[in-house]
């Protein structure tokens, strides 16, 4: 007889105070998000989920070991805030079902029940590369509870890099997890609107899975703008090629 390995979904929450919240408060937060949970143990927090699933929230009374070397992005707490977090939770869920994005949505909701009952600083899903601001993460998860899908602001991680004295870039992470290519968008340091453009593209690509972006075609933020679609090696040096978009310099008036 062949047995299928259990799938574990993981999330991390940075907190300032190394104390467990009351399990009843966590359950109340879950109820507001449309989740049914039953407490099994108090420390570590262990809950039963519908359908035979479970959630364990283990408090680690020490800073997260990866924070000093992690990248940060536009949705992250400051490096100083993240480094100052005195403790962190490791959340492990078993029995979540559905596609990766559906499971990620469920995991984000479960992480939010901890965020809402602690002095959380940041949160991230287990496959992520950056921590997101805790309240932003929770707000996006609450939006997911209403709309059914995890918003791109926390479904996809975005990091920034300096390209030159006048140019910078935004690089997505986790798009490949959802069956799409990563985006590498280069823009002016003194311009505005590039990050919104990246989020709009991510939302479009995750919503319309049939939409393709052929190399050599153009795309734009206006009817007249024509940004050439290129494919180049991932700037991280790992993984498949990424879609590169070079935004023009902003016009001076």
pLDDT, tens digit (0-9, with 9 covering 90-100), for 200-242? 999 999 999 888 999 999 998 888 889 999 999 999 999 999 9
Q: What pLDDT score was predicted for residue 6? A: 59
CB neighbours of residue 98 within 10 Å: 10
DSSP 248: P
Is residue 206 in some structural domain? Answer: yes
Is residue 222 in some structural domain? Answer: yes
pLDDT, tens digit (0-9, with 9 covering 90-100), for 48-61? 999 899 999 999 99
Domain count, the chain: 2
Tell whether 23 and 90 lie within a shared domain: yes
* Statement: residue 83 has pLDDT above 70: yes
Tell whether 88 and 185 lie within a shared domain: no
Is residue 253 in some structural domain? Answer: no
* Statement: residue 3 has pLDDT above 70: no
Cα 125 to Cα 199: distance, rounded to the nearest angstrom: 18
- Record the pTM: 0.92
The answer to whether residues 129 and 86 touch, using CB atoms and an 8 Å cutoff, is no
Look up the domain containing 126 and give its range.
8-154
The answer to whether residues 26 and 42 touch, using CB atoms and an 8 Å cutoff, is no
Tell whether 137 and 233 lie within a shared domain: no
pLDDT, tens digit (0-9, with 9 covering 90-100), for 93-136? 999 999 999 999 999 999 999 999 999 999 999 999 999 999 99
Cα 146 to Cα 178: distance, rounded to the nearest angstrom: 21
3-state DSSP helix/strand/coil % of the chain, to nearest 5: 30, 30, 45
């Amino acid at each position: 007889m062949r047995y299928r390995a259990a799938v574990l979904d993981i999330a991390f929450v940075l907190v300032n105070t190394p104390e467990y919240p009351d399990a009843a408060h966590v359950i109340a937060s879950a109820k507001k998000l449309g989740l049914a949970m039953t407490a099994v143990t108090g420390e570590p927090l262990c809950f039963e989920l519908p359908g035979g699933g479970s959630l364990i929230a283990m408090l680690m009374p020490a800073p997260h070991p990866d924070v000093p070397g992690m990248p940060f992005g536009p949705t992250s707490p400051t490096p100083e805030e993240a480094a100052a977090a005195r403790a962190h939770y490791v959340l492990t869920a078993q029995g979540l079902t559905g596609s990766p994005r559906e499971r990620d949505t469920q995991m984000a909701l479960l992480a939010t029940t901890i965020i809402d009952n602690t002095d959380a600083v940041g949160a991230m899903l287990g496959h992520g590369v950056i921590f997101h601001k805790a309240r932003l993460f929770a707000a996006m998860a609450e939006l997911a509870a209403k709309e059914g899908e995890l918003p791109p602001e926390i479904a996809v991680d975005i990091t920034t890099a300096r390209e030159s004295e006048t140019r910078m870039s935004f690089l997505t992470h986790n798009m490949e997890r959802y069956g799409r290519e990563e985006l590498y968008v280069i823009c002016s340091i003194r311009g505005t609107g590039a990050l919104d453009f990246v989020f709009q593209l991510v939302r479009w690509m995750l919503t319309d899975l049939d939409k393709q972006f052929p190399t050599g075609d153009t795309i734009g933020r206006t009817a007249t703008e024509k940004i050439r679609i290129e494919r180049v090696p991932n700037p991280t040096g790992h993984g498949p090629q990424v879609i590169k978009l070079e935004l023009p310099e902003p016009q001076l008036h």
